[in-house]
Structure 1
Amino acid sequence: MSVGNPPRLLDLAAMSLLRDEALTIFSLEYLPTELFPPLFIAAFYGRCRETLKTMVQTWPFARLPLGGLMQKPHKGTLQAVLDGLDVLLAQKVRPRRCKLRVLDLRNTGQDFWSMWSGARAHVYSSSSMAPVVEDISRTKQPLAPLEVFIEICLKKKTLDEFLAYLIRWVEQRKASIHLCCKKLKIVSTPKENIKKVLSIVQLDCVQEVEVNCTWKLSTLAMYAPHLGKMRNVQRLLLSPIHVSAFKEQDHQYLLQFASQILRLQYLRDLHMESPSFLEGRLNQMFRCLKTPLDNLAITNCLLTESDLTHLFQCPNISHLKGLNLSGVTLTNFSPELLQVLLEKVAATLQELDLNLCGIMDSQLEAILPALSHCSHLRVFSMCGNLLSMAVMERLLRHTDGLTGLNLELYPAPRESYSSQGVLHQERLALLHAELLEILRDLGHPRTIWISPSPCPHCGVDICDHISPSI
């Protein structure tokens, strides 16, 4: 017979209190601090709204990580907590017991609840979990704006009920509530919803922006001033931005967008998927960068040799850790351009993606010396390029000294295909065996993936289910 863990005394005390909600509310002013979290958990799952409302007003911690308890956003629970904040905000001076500064609605804070509920052992951290030491002078001052943290993903025609209610509530209390969103994702939603959210959120709190829907360059320019106010953005992802035929007005749109990049002093990661507006104009964008980038992705678009020249001349790409030019056709480019670019970033580069770039033998041979000096390289992918077996052998030998390289994805050798571009599985198997023998001769344990393009099984240009060669 197995016996489960008996309830802790704190849990039993919390459950006992909740049997009489009126008594619970009356007792909160005198309740020991360590009883607040288990009581809040019990009230949360028991939907004791009046208890939740009152507990917010006496919460003895700086942060209330409510999102860590919500598997799915629940409007009723949110209403109870916000009602409690309304009572708190209506008071002219801070209550003696309450230390609340932040309401966190993100899916975080599980460590806090786990520690206080006894779900797992946890080292007590006075900096993050202890109640804020009471400052007598502060209790006599008006409340500072309270921060509400949330992650926002706009992907529907209408705002979901939870987010819509929160935005209305914040909009009516903008002087005393700051709505903070560190991650903002826009997938597909009407412009009026985007404008509504951007007008409510504290833009200088945003650290990551992802736009994953088709916008025109004029739309990007329209939102550019909002982007410029997100001065703490570290990661910006845009995909795709559509321009059918570049016109004079589009030039102004590009300048409007680029001018706001000047304000992003903490930008580290820049990802642009299908930025058709960049062809021949990359210098207008990159001369606006104010700080060194860690990761740069410009994918599935056309660039000119002049663009690539401006790229390696840009001082703020010299410390790149990740470079992704997948889908940028480099077939007719001078081999030296890619070589100089790699030399510029060789000291720091950790990930390099050159998939579907139309790279030929001469271009790969030109970059091999620079590639062999990328001593920190961990990931190298160049699937979908047409390379001969001889050049692939030289590639394996040049990269053998890169001991940190642990993920290599290469195309099937050119000899695997017929003159009409049809893959011959028998030829591929023989060449695969030859590559495996080369790896054995080198004597350094490596794992490489050889990916035909298109994949004979799924038909895509780059697939991830091909068995590796070791």
Structure 2
Amino acid sequence: MSVSLVFLCARKVVSDHGSALNSLPYVPHELYPILFKAAFLDQRPLVIVELVRRWPLPVLSLVRLLQGCHHYHYDLSQDRPSRCCLQAVLLTIVKNLTEKTRNGRRVLRVLDLCGVQDEGGRPEPNSMGGLSRTVAIAKACLEVAKVRRGENTTESASKRRRNTAYIEDTEVVQSLALEVEVRADMFVNASSYECVKQALQAKGPMRLLCRDLRAEELSAQRTATLLELLEPLPLRRVDLRYNNLGLAGINLLLPILAKFPSLMSLRLLYINVDIRHGTPDTESGLREMAAGLGRLRKLRELNLTSLRLSNKLRLLLSSLERALEVVELNYFYLTSSDLYYLAESPHACFLRKLDLSGNSFNEALLPPLQRLLCEASVSLRYLVLSGCNLTDHLVGTLLTSLRRCRNLYSLGCSLNPISTEGLMSLVLVATELPQLQLLVHPQPTDCYEDGLPQPPSYYNLMEFPVNPDRLVQALAELRKAVEQKGRTDLVLSTDLYNYRTADLLEE
């Protein structure tokens, strides 16, 4: 890995807290980002405290600082962040905002924690996930607000005694007036809801702005309260899951979501909507939901995982003003009419990611799926067909359509009952796709121990024991075929969870 002499020197400086403390007053401002990355790499929280306390720039963006650069190419932002280092950043911001200082005017105005990794990356025992990070940020905001309220109370009580006083220490006044804008992706659940709500209500000098909101296990009313407290402009993505909202809850929230002018992504996962058990009000509720979606003017990504809304895709998507670029319909119970609508809709030729996992495909569903892939072939970069009951025969039928997807970057087809022979056909087609970098495939059915039920279900493929010798041999054959085609850049994997889709909204 390429490392510059400057970065090697930076690691030497941060290796000793005392040395770093003595050196920082003489370090040029342009070297602070390099020192910060070195301190984060080597987990030097005391040095990070000194760097943040003296930060010479108006913005501290964690992800940008940790990304690969010409001094050190490894991208630290792809790893889950160190707990002690992130806490050092937050605690220093709190200290800066609550202590009167004569050490000069503070420059930092924006702490940007958006885009911090929560999944994948190198496993770190000392890492901080999205939930604990959100709580830490909320508690920091509350701490600053609490101290400032105490200062204001003291000042109010002594105001009369200061009527003729002349405040000479202007730097102290400036430090008291300082506000830092904290931008973050927030993960809120039932246990952290009250803390986050109080932080948003505090309206203190540590101003919390949310870019991406993920809310789990919250009632519709609590979710509505949370949304009402967020500042409208920064919010880009809303991810609601395991919330048991039902149609009524969705329709309560959609008018609130329409107030966020930058909202580009709405993900509704496992929220208990199933028209197979509908009531007389279900149809009117669906029409209301469609109208609510239509009011989200900037929507580009829609995830309706486990909303069992067979034959309702046309109703839900036809009211959208803008073509979707990301459509995820996992466990939607898709019908041929749903797929034909999507293939013929304005969305098809703009699709960059399509996830149809968990829908059971058969001969009747293949023609509309082939039509959809044909229409989306130019734009499509990510395609996921995991757990779709795709057999060797069905995969063979799809190969012609897949060949047309020349810009495909990632293809996922795990947990499908495909043999080594069927996978070989798929892999050979994959090698023909010039942009394809990743193929996540199932473990071949002939590599399981004897007794695998036929046809195997999704759960059989997950739980039934695999014969390790057979699997090693089959995977070796697949890799050899890839190498013979000269596609050493193409990664074959059976790992469902260790590869993260690029953030298409930022491209």
Query: Is the TM value for this pair above 0.5?
Result: yes
Once the two structures are TM-superposed, the CA of residue 9 in structure 1 deviates from its matched residue by: 8.4
Length, aligned pairs only: 373
Find the partner of 2:453 among 406, 420, 428: 420
Q: Distance in 1 between matches of 2:333 and 2:57?
A: 61
Residues 1:76 and 2:179 aligned together: no
2:417 counterpart SS class: coil
Deviation sequence 1:306-348 (CA, Å, 0-9, x none): 1111111111231222111111111243422211111111112
Deviation sequence 1:224-260 (CA, Å, 0-9, x none): 2112222321111111121350223122222222212
Aligned counterparts, 1:424-435, within 5 A? 425=467, 427-435=470-478
Match of 1:264 in 2: 296
1:296 counterpart SS class: strand
Match of 2:340 in 1: 309
Q: Distance in 2 between matches of 1:218 and 1:224?
A: 10
Deviation sequence 1:384-411 (CA, Å, 0-9, x none): 1122444333222222222322211222
2:395 counterpart SS class: helix
Residues 1:225 and 2:281 aligned together: no
TM-score (normalizing by structure 1): 0.66
Q: Is the Cα contact below 8 Å between 1:157 and 1:188 reproduced in 2?
A: no
Pair 1:63–1:85, CA change in 2 (3 A): farther
Q: Is the Cα contact below 8 Å between 1:43 and 1:51 reproduced in 2?
A: no
Once the two structures are TM-superposed, the CA of residue 47 in structure 1 deviates from its matched residue by: 7.7
Residues 1:209 and 2:241 aligned together: no
Match of 1:350 in 2: 381
Q: Is the Cα contact below 8 Å between 1:66 and 1:103 reproduced in 2?
A: no
Once the two structures are TM-superposed, the CA of residue 81 in structure 1 deviates from its matched residue by: 4.9
Deviation sequence 1:248-280 (CA, Å, 0-9, x none): 31222222222121122222222222111x211
Q: Distance in 2 between matches of 1:187 and 1:343?
A: 36
> Greater relative contact order: 1 or 2 (C-alpha under 8 angstroms, separation 6 or more)?
2
2:296 counterpart SS class: coil
Moved more, 420-429 or 304-313: 420-429
TM-score (normalizing by structure 2): 0.62
Deviation sequence 1:55-93 (CA, Å, 0-9, x none): 9xx978693549899965333323345778999xxxxxx
Q: Distance in 1 between matches of 2:97 and 2:299?
A: 44
Match of 2:396 in 1: 365
Once the two structures are TM-superposed, the CA of residue 305 in structure 1 deviates from its matched residue by: 0.8
Which of the two has higher C-alpha Rg? 1
Deviation sequence 1:338-395 (CA, Å, 0-9, x none): 1111111111211111000012333322321221222222211111112244433322
Residues 1:405 and 2:436 aligned together: yes
Q: Specify the code of the residue in structure 1 equivalent to 2:453.
A: Q
Moved more, 185-194 or 411-420: 411-420
Q: Distance in 2 between matches of 1:261 and 1:387?
A: 38
Match of 2:182 in 1: 105
Find the partner of 1:439 among 453, 464, 482: 482
Aligned counterparts, 1:227-306, within 5 A? 227-244=257-274, 245-276=277-308, 278-306=309-337
Deviation sequence 1:135-188 (CA, Å, 0-9, x none): xxxxxxxxxxxxxxxx54331257444x34444444xx9xxx997532222112
Residues 1:387 and 2:418 aligned together: yes
Q: Specify the code of the residue in structure 2 equivalent to 1:240.
A: Y
The RMSD of aligned alpha carbons is 4.4
Q: Is the Cα contact below 8 Å between 2:377 and 2:406 reproduced in 1?
A: yes
Q: Distance in 1 between matches of 2:92 and 2:334?
A: 59
Q: Distance in 1 between matches of 2:400 and 2:432?
A: 12
Aligned counterparts, 1:177-192, within 5 A? 180-192=209-221
Q: Specify the code of the residue in structure 2 equivalent to 1:212.
A: R
Pair 1:384–1:61, CA change in 2 (3 A): same
Residues 1:63 and 2:109 aligned together: yes
Match of 1:21 in 2: none
Deviation sequence 1:15-55 (CA, Å, 0-9, x none): xxxxxxxxxxxxxxxxxx97999xx9999665884627x99
Q: Specify the code of the residue in structure 2 equivalent to 1:312.
A: A
Aligned counterparts, 1:144-155, within 5 A? 151-155=185-189
Q: Is the Cα contact below 8 Å between 1:294 and 1:322 reproduced in 2?
A: yes
Unaligned runs of 5+ in 1: 12-32, 88-94, 108-150, 452-461, 466-470
Q: Specify the code of the residue in structure 2 equivalent to 1:4.
A: S
Q: Is the Cα contact below 8 Å between 1:312 and 1:344 reproduced in 2?
A: yes
Once the two structures are TM-superposed, the CA of residue 222 in structure 1 deviates from its matched residue by: 1.7
Unaligned runs of 5+ in 2: 1-15, 27-54, 60-88, 115-132, 156-169, 455-463, 500-507
Pair 1:352–1:81, CA change in 2 (3 A): farther
Match of 1:124 in 2: none
Q: Is the Cα contact below 8 Å between 1:229 and 1:263 reproduced in 2?
A: no
Q: Distance in 2 between matches of 1:190 and 1:331?
A: 37
Pair 1:104–1:82, CA change in 2 (3 A): farther
Pair 1:448–1:77, CA change in 2 (3 A): same
Q: Distance in 2 between matches of 1:49 and 1:285?
A: 50
Pair 1:61–1:257, CA change in 2 (3 A): farther
Q: Is the Cα contact below 8 Å between 1:188 and 1:212 reproduced in 2?
A: yes
Pair 1:50–1:219, CA change in 2 (3 A): same
